[in-house]
Amino acid sequence: MRRYSAFAIAKEAMRNHTGWDRAWAKSAPKKKYDVIIVGAGGHGLATAYYLGKNFGITNVAILEKGWLGGGNTGRNTTIIRSNYLQDPSAAIYEKSRSLYETMSQDLNYNVMFSPRGVIMLAQTQHEVRGYKRTAHANALQGVQTEWIGPERVKELCPIMNIDGPRYPVLGGLWQARGGTARHDAVAWGYARACSDMGMDIIQKCEVTGVRQENGKVIGVDTSQGPIDCDKLGMVVAGHSGVLAQMAGFRLPIESVALQALVSEPIKPCMDVVVMANTVHGYMSQSDKGEMVIGGGTDGYNNYTQRGSFHHIEETVRALVETFPMISRLKMLRQWGGIVDVTGDRSPILSKTPVEGVFVNCGWGTGGFKAIPGSGWAMAELMAKGQSPLTEEFSMFRFREGKFIDESVAAGVAH
């Protein structure tokens, strides 16, 4: 009996039932588009989808130098939450979380959204004060979170050791409607919907230059030839700085690797997501039974997409104390992704010094949870020139000193 990989099965199913594989394999782009989106990851595909759905703009090309969803969209740990402190952050992340709840119905594609709940552990008195403050802020913002004590934490996650010798669990910030989704399915669902609207998804098409005339974008040069456009959206995560330089401006971001790993599959033992910022680790259990584990970013700027031994040691060492049972597990695989980090740990959704060029980047370690909200806001910004969800996230806020400081919420907790 012939055996197929999960990816091959999914691709075959999509070819048989959707017809979008024709766009996937498209090799001859048109000469002119109203909008070009660079980056066929979650944020780029969501931007294109909402341009078509909300504003009727369908003469759109999504260019991808690799393959669809092959960047951070396919490399993250799928956590979805909106319990941020600052009002602009809470607004866009809560918009995103609410869109995830209906995404499977909206796209007619099962993205396996699982609102299993997210706990952010408080293991120091400083974190207790910080999370209580966030809970009060969330109440004012209309985001449903609550502060819970250690007994309730133990009830929600019985495998946890709440009496650790160094960092006992003092409580946690609980968001019951947070959770996870299947990252590949999000990309595939948006891609199919974009294709159904007549948009072109062009893979293996690397942008090599941005063409301008009198300070306005007129097109891009690619590995498949020049393509003209009226508007250009840069949605390429860790490579945003490289693309911005092609257009003649700089972005206030750093690119670093973020690593993750999964264990061998085991029987269900954990049905919530737990993040422990004090020890720099977080964990959840996938539908296949693997323990999905991650921590902080690498300590230096780089563009690698692979794992490293020191990261395994640091992350697992941090979690073993709080989750003693994982000490006996074997690692199944490890990988890395390139995240783009700003100084205030908040994203950039903005116009740029080049007329007609828009940029969506700086999501750092929390990009997956923001995909639908980011796409919704970016589409509105590109179609109308402004969006209430993006007003505070301009790239020029750093020059003006208008920071949106989310370093506590976004530094490690994904």
Task: Tell me the pLDDT tens digit for each residue of 93-152.
Answer: 999 999 999 999 999 999 999 999 999 999 999 999 999 999 999 999 999 999 999 999
Six token digits for residue 269 = 């033992």
User: What's the CATH fold of domain 118-180+255-342?
Assistant: D-Amino Acid Oxidase; Chain A, domain 2 (3.30.9)
Sign of CA dihedral 312, 315, 318, 324: negative
d(CA 142, CA 292): 30
- Class in CATH terms, 32-82+84-109+183-252+344-400: alpha beta
Buried b (16+ CB within 10 A) or exposed e, 55-64: eebbbbbbbb
What is the average per-residue pLDDT within 237-242? 92
Residue 398 DSSP SS3: helix
The residue among 231, 218, 211 whose CA lies nearest residue 384 is 231
What's the pLDDT tens digit per position in 244-275?
Answer: 999 999 999 999 988 899 999 999 999 999 99
Judge contact between 370 and 96, C-beta under 8 A: yes
Residues 6+ apart with CB under 8 A from 189: 103, 104, 107, 109, 111
> 228 forms bridges with which residues in the sheet?
32, 219
The angle at the Cα of 137, spanning 131 to 139, to the nearest 5 degrees, equals 105
The yes-or-no answer to whether 32-82+84-109+183-252+344-400 and 118-180+255-342 have a common fold is no
Every domain of the chain and the residues it spans: 32-82+84-109+183-252+344-400, 118-180+255-342
pLDDT at 411 over 60: no
The pLDDT score that the predictor gives to residue 296 is 77
- Using the structure block, give the residue that is written with the tokens 């993040």: 275
> Does 313 score more than 50 pLDDT?
yes
pLDDT reading at 408 higher than 70:
no
